[in-house]
């Protein structure tokens, strides 16, 4: 099974600052990575797929990059509504697996 590891576990960022979240796969997953945003009390919401394609409804300040085993989600200028938990998921190797999440909190 491909282990998907996210770091850091918690990221403290001030509004307006840049946030960089990382996701590492234990073996190559090509570009088959998705990211989800989850706010308290809500279901996760698809944010990025194909490592870098933004899902409908998310602004351009969200961007994804990477291939192989290392992936990054960047939020260029954090807004109040962006404080949430973010999960990555690989869908290259079966079974598809989630990371343990990165919580982005207000500094």
Partner 1 sequence: QVTLKESGPALVKPTQTLTLTCTFSGFSLSTNGMRVSWVRQPPGKALEWLARIDWDDDKFYSTSLKTRLTISKDTSKNQVVLTMTNMDPVDTATYYCVRIAPTGTTGWYDYWGQGTQVTVSS
The site for partner 1 (CB under 8 A) is made up of 1, 32, 34, 36, 43-46, 49, 55, 87, 89, 91-92, 94-101
CA distances from 13 to 28, 57, 96, 104 (A): 30, 23, 30, 7
Round to whole Å and give the CA distance between 19 and 6.
Answer: 14
Shortest reach from residue 96's CB to partner 1, in Å: 5
Nearer to partner 1, 16 or 95 (CB): 95
Nearer to partner 1, 19 or 51 (CB): 51
């Amino acid at each position: 099974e491909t282990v998907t590891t996210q770091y850091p576990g918690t990221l403290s960022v001030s509004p307006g600052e840049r946030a960089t979240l990382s996701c590492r796969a234990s073996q190559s997953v090509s570009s088959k990575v998705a990211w989800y945003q989850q706010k308290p009390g809500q279901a996760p919401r698809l944010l990025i797929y194909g490592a870098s394609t933004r899902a409908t409804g998310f602004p351009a300040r969200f961007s994804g990059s990477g291939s192989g085993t290392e992936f990054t989600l960047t939020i260029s200028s954090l807004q109040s509504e962006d404080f949430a938990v973010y999960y990555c998921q690989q869908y290259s190797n079966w079974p598809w697996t989630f990371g343990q999440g990165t919580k982005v909190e207000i500094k």
